[in-house]
Amino acid sequence: MGSLAVSRLAVEDDLPSASIADQVATIARKNLAPMAAAIDAGNVYPDELLRRLGDVGAWGSHQPKNGAADLRCAIQSIAALGEVCGATAFMAWCQNTLVWYAANSSNPKLVARFGDKFATGQILGGTGLSNPMKSFFGIEKLKLNGRKVDGGYIVRGALPWVSNLGPGHFFGTIFEREDEPGGAVMFLADCSDPAVSLQPCKPFLAMDGTGTYGVQFRDVFVPDDLILADPAGPFVKKIRAGFILLQAGMATGLIRDCINIMNEVDAPLGHVNRYLPQQPVNFRELLSELETEAMALASDPFNAEDSYWRKVVELRLRAGDASVAAAHAAMLHCGARGYLMSHRAQRRLREAYFVAIVTPATKQLRKMLADM
C-alpha cells in the first residue's frame, strides 16, 4: 500500500493535531488493512475499530473553538483510512459529520449529553441528510414529517439509506413541520427507540459493511432535548461547507492508493503501460492540487461568502471526477490481474463510483453550480 505518512499531504508541518492523523494512519495500516475486503463484502461492520479511532482523537479535532473551526486534521484522518478502505473512510465521514452537527448545535442539553460521547466514539452514528440536502436544492421532497406536541415532536416517515448505524447509534436528520409547510426541524434520531426500525438494504455494488439501513419512523416522539436546530434552515447553511469538505478525505485517500496501484505494476507492466494516456505523475499533480485547495478551504468552514461556497462545491465535484478517473486508470494499468476479485483495483473502482454518487452526487453538484 505504500507509506501512509501524513507528511505527504499538503498540510502545514506545524498543524497542532497532525499527530492524530499519524495515529489514524498507523491503525489503518496495521488493523484496518486486513479487514478491508471483509468490510467491502459486508461480512464485517468495524464498530470496535471505529471506537478505537475515537480513542486516539479521530472524531474530535474539528469541533469549533471560540467561534472558529478547522477541518484539516479530520480530512487528513479520513484520507489515511481511505487509502486503505473506502468503506471505512465513508463511515469516518459519517461519524465526523455527526460530531459536526452536535458541536454546532445551540441546544445546551443536547451538547452536554452527546458532544463528548460522539467526539470520543463512545456513541457511534451517522447522518441522514441525503434526502434533506436534495430537498433544499429542489431535487426531492422531505420524506419525514413532524407535528408539535408537549415537550417535542411526533415524527413519521422513512429514509431509504442511512449509514454507520446499529443498536445504540444516533444520526442527524430533518423533518418538515406538518403545521408549517416548508418549515423544517433538524434532530437526532435514536436507533434504540422502539418506534424506529432499521431495515436491511439490498446488497450494494460495494461497501456493504457500512451499517447502512433503511430507517422507518412510526410516530416517534422526539423530545426537545434531541432537537439540533429549530428552524433547520440557518443551521444547515452554517454546517453545509463542513458536511461537504469532510468528504474530500474519502476522495484523496482513494486517489492516493490508485497511484500506489499503478506504481506497483510499473516493474512488470511499465513497458506497455507507458502507452496509456493517464500516468501516475498526472494523478500525483492532480492530487496535490486537490489537497492544497481542500486544506485551504477546510481552515475556514464558517466562511459565509458566496464565492467560498462555490469553491467548496467545485472542489467536491472535481474530487468525485478525479476519484473515478484515478480508479479507472488503475484498472487499465493492472490489466487482467486487476480484474480478479482478489485484487483491490476492482474494489477501488467500485468505491470510486460511490464517491461520485454519494450526496451531493455529481449531478446534484452540477445543478447547484448551474443554479448559482
Q: Is 68 helix (H, G, I), strand (E, B) or coil?
A: strand
Delimit the domains of the chain by residue range: 6-114, 126-234, 239-371
Contact residues for 284 (Cβ-Cβ < 8 A; gap 6+): 259
Domain 239-371, CATH number (from 1.20.140.10, 3.30.1490.20, 2.60.120.650, 3.40.50.920): 1.20.140.10
In this prediction, residue 207 has a pLDDT band, given cuts at 50, 70 and 90, of confident
Instruction: Report, at the CATH architecture level, how domain 126-234 is classified.
Output: Beta Barrel (2.40)
User: 212, 166, 158, 197: which is closest to 40 by C-alpha?
Assistant: 212
Q: Which class is 6-114 in CATH?
A: mainly alpha
Per-residue confidence (pLDDT) for residue 13, from 0 to 100: 42
pLDDT digits (tens, 9 = 90+) for 132-163: 999 988 899 999 999 999 999 999 999 999 99
Per-residue confidence (pLDDT) for residue 182, from 0 to 100: 85
Mean pLDDT of 28-43: 96
- pTM value is 0.94
In this prediction, residue 80 has a pLDDT band, given cuts at 50, 70 and 90, of very high
Mean pLDDT of 95-99: 98
In the predicted structure, residue 7 carries a pLDDT above the cut 70: no
Cα separation of 204 and 355, whole Å? 14
pLDDT digits (tens, 9 = 90+) for 47-61: 999 999 999 999 999
Neighbours of 220 (CB within 10 A): 24
